[in-house]
Structure 1
Amino acid sequence: GYLAMGGQIVDATIVAAPKQRNSDAEKADIKAGKVPEAWKNKPDKLRQKDSDARWTVKFSKAKADEEGKTKQRDIAVPAFGYKNHASIDRRHGFIRGWNVTGASAYDGAQLCNVLDKTNTGSTVWADTAYRSKKNEAWLEKNGYRSDIHHKKPKGRPMSDATSRANGRRSKIRAFVEHVFAHQKSRMGLFVRTIGIARARTKIGMANLAYNLTRFVWHQGRTAPA
């Protein structure tokens, strides 16, 4: 069988949804959990409005060249939709735990919601968004070993030892990125439904479909020639 083993790799990705065209007042009501007044007497319009999806900004940091000079600029790209939080086991690469939130939800807050307690390995890999005193304490209390990326010290350069350690972690953590890339490129994952309940079903089915393709891949490796 394919037992969950080898530890867990955690990450999240934004799943796009159709952009909503709302006024500033409507946006404020939605963030406050209210139904805008203009929608209350228009049930047809209300049915077409997704009040659960959220806007967020994806940042891409500019990389320095060999001389240490940054020639490019940081890029900020707005995105609208939901976020698929997931963990995979390192040994087999199956999605073992997942959760769905609005795109603006903080990744680190979902760590305890996606980890698989049945995994025979205790190590957890994740990027810096998941490193916090609260998460580190929770992992230690629940018997996990944190191998989460370390953040750069504020106002100081990162030490060579920490940089090398993060590089080692990145090689392992990259496997979960392949999962999301497969869902978006080969499966064309996009949420066209209204509301988080249906979005959770859609994304959950996509996670299940990925596991099926992963299972077929494993079976093909072990099948006799």
Structure 2
Amino acid sequence: MSRIVDFELFRDDLARAVPRSDGSKGGRSPFDLVFMFKVLILQASHSLSDERTKFLIKDRLSFMRFLGLGLSDPVPDANTTWTFREALTRAEITGKPAIAVLFCAYEAALCAAGFLAMGGQIVDATVVAAPKQRNTEAEKAELKAGRVPDAWKAHPAKLAQKDRDARWTIKWSKAKPAEDGSKRIDLAVPAFGYKNHIGIDRRHGLIRTWTATDAARHDGAQWPGLLSKANTAGDVWVDTAYRSKANEAYLAGNGFRSRIHRKKPPGKPMARNVARANGGKSKVRAAIEHVFVPAARGRSARPRRWRGARR
């Protein structure tokens, strides 16, 4: 990552997003903005808590090299990391979320390094687990309506521990043979949390677009904002969850070529030519699963630690 991206490109945007004191009032000098941004990258890449981030920066030479630290250099504590992340999460640059502006700068850095978006694009989503909430039916109804339950308003400490943006969804596992081998069954696994929606280019497999929603949002409703006309090819590969007349019309009306998997007819076997076409599409679409795997391994199936959709 250090070889591909010159992190100094982010300095001006970070300075606008998280302004620092001029030092006239004294006090300890703050950590460098680009340094703290790289700390957040390490933290997000490995799904680390603030305390664990501090420990591993001191423990791993690879982290030290990435951050440009020596063995005796100071390391930001958990409160420093939390404060910087919160400031960056809430910041805006020219009316846009700071994270979106920084991501555009990252895209420009990739293009400058020769990693152009080529060969078409692949879009998919993955569930990110959050700590489960033990809410009553009345509290759930209030949250769905966009309101804070009255019982929580009087207890700020309790409210701070509640994730009001995460939602439940059903995640279907791959079909597996039954114990007697006579038929195949699907397993429905409930999940609570969020969804990461991303788009990658086929040539390099690098993330080009992204958005985050609660887990209950339908994948197919999010993808218009994930498609980019900057790609050198118009092909779009996605699974059957994205197939609809509206999405097909959107592709045709914006110069994209549909490579969406076709669904199996209800109660009928899949036609051989359709199955063969889906198999060819799967060989391409599988590349996006390779992007999700390192994140899943880093999380080790643990829930995310930060509450709220903005974080």
TM-score of the superposed pair, with normalisation by structure 1: 0.82
Q: Name the residue aligned to 1:129.
A: 241
Matched, 1:59 2:172: yes
Give 1:8 shift.
0.4
Q: Residues 62-110 of structure 1: CA distance to partner in whole angstroms, max 9, x if unpaired?
A: 2469xx942x532111111110000110000000011000011100001
Higher Cα radius of gyration: 2
Q: Name the residue aligned to 1:109.
A: 221
Q: Name the residue aligned to 1:220.
A: none
Give 1:157 shift.
2.0
More RCO (CA 8 Å, sep 6+): 1
Q: Name the residue aligned to 2:156.
A: 43
In 1: Cα distance, 2:128 partner to 2:122 partner: 19
SS of the aligned residue for 1:88 comes to strand
In 2: Cα distance, 1:176 partner to 1:64 partner: 26
Q: Name the residue aligned to 1:149.
A: 261
Q: Residues 45-72 of structure 1: CA distance to partner in whole angstroms, max 9, x if unpaired?
A: 111111100111111242469xx942x5
Q: Residues 102-135 of structure 1: CA distance to partner in whole angstroms, max 9, x if unpaired?
A: 0111000011111122100100000000110000
Q: Which runs of 5+ in 1 are unaligned?
A: 199-225
Aligned amino acid, residue 43 of structure 1: P
Aligned amino acid, residue 147 of structure 2: K
In 2: Cα distance, 1:169 partner to 1:33 partner: 40
Aligned amino acid, residue 95 of structure 1: I
Structure 1 residues 46-195: aligned runs within 5 Å: 46-63=159-176, 69-70=182-183, 72-186=184-298, 190-195=303-308
Structure 1's consecutive aligned runs of 4 or more residues displaced over 3 angstroms after TM superposition are 186-190
In 2: Cα distance, 1:62 partner to 1:185 partner: 23
Aligned amino acid, residue 124 of structure 1: V
Q: Name the residue aligned to 2:140.
A: 27
Give 1:155 shift.
2.9
In 2: Cα distance, 1:38 partner to 1:186 partner: 36
Aligned amino acid, residue 123 of structure 2: V
In 2: Cα distance, 1:187 partner to 1:40 partner: 32
Give 1:187 shift.
5.8
Give 1:16 shift.
0.9
Contact 2:177-2:185 at 8 Å conserved across structures: no
Q: Which runs of 5+ in 2 are unaligned?
A: 1-113
Residue 7 of structure 1, aligned match among 98, 120, 131: 120
Contact 1:96-1:115 at 8 Å conserved across structures: no
TM-score of the superposed pair, with normalisation by structure 2: 0.60
Aligned amino acid, residue 142 of structure 2: D
In 2: Cα distance, 1:167 partner to 1:36 partner: 49
Contact 1:9-1:89 at 8 Å conserved across structures: yes
Q: Name the residue aligned to 1:215.
A: none
Aligned length in residues: 195
In 2: Cα distance, 1:106 partner to 1:46 partner: 28
Q: Name the residue aligned to 2:129.
A: 16
